[in-house]
């Protein structure tokens, strides 16, 4: 038998009787994926899926942190619209960016985080790369630490924390553990518990801090408390890893929102900073962020960058251009930067006024509960204090969607829904 005939016979033998056009589901060979079990829905985007499927016309989505205008619509910042025009006029090409991203973008991004006068920047001691928004930035940092960190290779994350931190560190080969953060009794920071935890975890651990606007609680340490954590980290030689997703978005002032990161650097720490431009520029879908390690010498920067490029190349090769172009225009052009500062202040102010309005509406509904934590918290979210069964009830009976821990995106409240949300919150908590 010729070689061709033999191979034809072999291949036909492996198909069901109906032959090559038969359906794949009827194939008798067991699937290589047969053992795969259903995974849990994402704690944040899973809420969005459930919301989408709900037919209730009154439904309200407070689950995912995405800013909405007062009438509930997605909002494009005026400075972004202007930058879009400039970028389109420049008629750029669609070539690959370098593996580490657009150099001009990396420069303006890290300047925003560390400050133009930062000694680190003046001395060229930053290793900064473009990333796929904040998640991508954390992922790069974690992957690098997973390969090269010589200290205790465990990430300590706050309890509670953003629903994706655990995932990102785990998938980077770094096990995570909690440190105490939030005190449900005071609905505030458990300063004593957190200090004690940071003191008793193994030396040289990776400690993940939310640089500003803690997600999900909206509870931030005071400058004095930050100072104390910086000192503990120095004594214990912990490695501070800052997740900075809300610079400018929290207080309306990007300089103020960067204080914790800059304090740690001034205190002599080497740090990681994961920046996102999703919230403060409203560029959620553009997936634009930056990741920085501070280093001790320029030679070290070069070596760390060389390894980080290998990490990036293996993950996604090189980053996308559009968001980087927009942000380079905005932060690199004094006029547009000024407009952005106004825009971001407007976002922060509207969120603060929504907090106020929600508390007033709850009072109007007749709620006797103390809701002052809603106005005391900062940033995109409020940790309402709703218990898991109250969350289930508010979703089932009122179609007001939030994450299972009772977090609501204040930035999604507005005139059309604020009274309804207050009514629902009162109904499930009275
Ligand atoms: C959130 O916390 O809702 C946002 O940061 C969106 C996300 O990626 O989880």
* 159 falls within a domain: yes
Whether 365 maps to a domain, the answer reads: yes
Cα(217) to centroid(ligand 1), Å: 13
Let me know if residue 171 belongs to a domain: yes
Q: Ligand 1 center to residue 69 CA distance, Å?
A: 18
The residue ranking higher by pLDDT, 3 or 98, is: 98
- Answer yes or no: is pLDDT of 349 > 80: yes
Q: Is 216 helix (H, G, I), strand (E, B) or coil?
A: coil
Among candidate residues 302, 332, 362, the one where a domain is terminated: 332
Q: Is the pLDDT of residue 158 over 60?
A: yes
Q: Which residue numbers are catalytic?
A: 162, 243, 279
**Is 203 among the domain residues?**
yes
Whether residues 66 and 114 share a domain: the answer is no
Are residue 219 and residue 309 in the same domain, yes or no?
Answer: yes
C-alpha to C-alpha distance for 254 and 247, rounded to whole angstroms: 5
CA atoms within 13 A on the CB side of 157: 22
Q: Quick one: CA dihedral 32, 35, 38, 40, positive or negative?
A: negative
CATH number at residue 284: 3.40.640.10
Ligand 1 atom 2: residue of nearest CA: 65
Residues 62 and 155 in one domain: no
How many domains does the chain divide into? 2
In a domain, 35, yes or no: no
Percent of the chain with pLDDT over 70: 94
Rounded to the nearest 10°, the torsion over CA 280, 281, 283, 284 is: 10
**Is position 280 within any domain?**
yes
Q: Enumerate residues lining ligand 1, CB below 6 A.
A: 44, 64-65, 162, 164, 215
**Residues 248 and 288 grouped into a single domain:** yes
End of a domain among 273, 304, 332?
Answer: 332
56 and 110 in a common domain:
no
Ligand 1 centroid to residue 44 C-alpha, Å: 7
State phi, psi for 242 to the nearest 5 degrees.
-95, 125
Spatial contact of 62 and 421, defined as CB atoms under 8 Å apart:
yes
Regarding whether 140 and 271 lie in a shared domain, the answer is yes
pTM of the model: 0.92
Dump strand ranges (E) for 97-229.
126-131, 152-159, 176-180, 182-183, 188-189, 205-210
> Would the pLDDT of 12 be above 90?
no
Domain contains 109: yes
> Token pair 């109904």 is at which residue?
427
pLDDT in tens, 373-420: 999 999 999 999 999 999 999 999 999 999 999 999 999 999 999 999
> pLDDT tens digit string along 294-317?
999 999 999 999 999 999 999 999
Among 271, 305, 332, which residue terminates a domain?
332
Range of the domain at 368: 45-76+346-429
Q: Specify whether 65 is located in the same domain as 123.
A: no
Element spanning 199, H or E: helix 191-200
Q: How open is the CA angle 238-214-330, to the nearest 5 degrees?
A: 100
**One domain for residues 222 and 356:** no
Are residues 153 and 279 located together in one domain of the fold?
yes
Q: How do beta strands 400-401 and 60-61 pair? A: parallel
Q: Are residues 291 and 361 in the same domain?
A: no
278 and 350: one domain?
Answer: no
> Looking at the predicted structure, is the pLDDT value of residue 203 above 80?
yes
CATH number, domain containing residue 351: 3.90.1150.10
Distance 129 CA to ligand 1 centre (A): 22
Q: Does a structural domain hold residue 14?
A: no
The residue whose CA has the least distance to atom 9 of ligand 1 is 44
Measuring from atom 5 of ligand 1, which residue has the nearest CA? Answer: 65
Could you give the CA distance from residue 305 to residue 238 in angstroms, rounded to a whole number?
Answer: 22
One domain, residues 282 and 369: no
């Amino acid at each position: 038998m010729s070689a061709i005939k033999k191979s034809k016979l072999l291949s036909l033998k492996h198909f069901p009787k109906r032959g090559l056009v038969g359906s794949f589901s009827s194939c008798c060979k067991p699937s290589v994926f047969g053992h795969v079990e259903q995974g849990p829905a994402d704690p944040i985007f899973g809420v969005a899926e459930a919301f989408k499927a709900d037919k209730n016309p009154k439904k309200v989505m407070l689950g995912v942190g995405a800013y909405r205008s007062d009438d509930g619509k997605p909002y494009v910042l005026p400075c972004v619209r202007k930058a879009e025009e400039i970028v389109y006029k420049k008629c750029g090409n669609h070539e690959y960016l370098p593996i580490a991203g657009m150099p001009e973008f990396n420069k303006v991004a890290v300047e925003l985080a560390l400050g133009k006068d930062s000694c680190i920047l003046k001395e060229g001691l930053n290793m900064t790369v473009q990333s796929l928004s904040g998640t991508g930035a954390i992922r790069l940092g974690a992957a690098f630490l997973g390969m090269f960190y010589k200290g205790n290779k465990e990430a300590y994350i706050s309890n509670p924390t953003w629903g994706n931190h655990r995932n990102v560190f785990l998938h980077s080969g770094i096990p995570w553990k909690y440190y105490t953060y939030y005190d449900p009794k005071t609905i505030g920071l458990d300063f004593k518990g957190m200090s004690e935890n940071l003191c008793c975890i193994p030396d040289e651990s990776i400690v993940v801090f939310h640089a500003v606007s803690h997600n999900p609680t909206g509870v931030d340490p005071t400058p004095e408390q930050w100072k104390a954590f910086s000192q503990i980290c120095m004594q214990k030689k912990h490695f501070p890893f800052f997740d900075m997703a809300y610079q400018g978005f929290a207080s309306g002032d990007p300089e103020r929102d960067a204080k914790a990161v800059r304090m740690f650097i001034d205190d002599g720490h080497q740090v990681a900073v994961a920046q996102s431009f999703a919230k403060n520029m409203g560029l959620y879908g553009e997936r634009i962020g930056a990741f920085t390690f501070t280093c001790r010498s320029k030679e070290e920067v070069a070596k760390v960058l060389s390894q980080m490029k290998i990490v990036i190349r293996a993950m996604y090769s090189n980053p996308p251009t559009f968001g980087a172009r927009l942000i380079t225009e905005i932060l690199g052009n004094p006029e547009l930067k000024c407009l952005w500062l106004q825009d971001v202040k407007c976002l922060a102010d509207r969120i603060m006024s929504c907090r106020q309005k929600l508390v007033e509406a709850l009072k109007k509904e007749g709620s006797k509960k103390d809701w002052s934590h809603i106005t005391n918290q900062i940033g995109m979210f409020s940790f309402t204090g709703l218990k898991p069964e109250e969350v289930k009830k508010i979703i089932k009976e009122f179609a007001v969607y939030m994450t299972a821990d009772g977090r609501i995106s204040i930035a999604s409240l507005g005139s059309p829904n604020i009274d309804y949300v207050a009514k629902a919150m009162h109904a499930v908590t009275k």
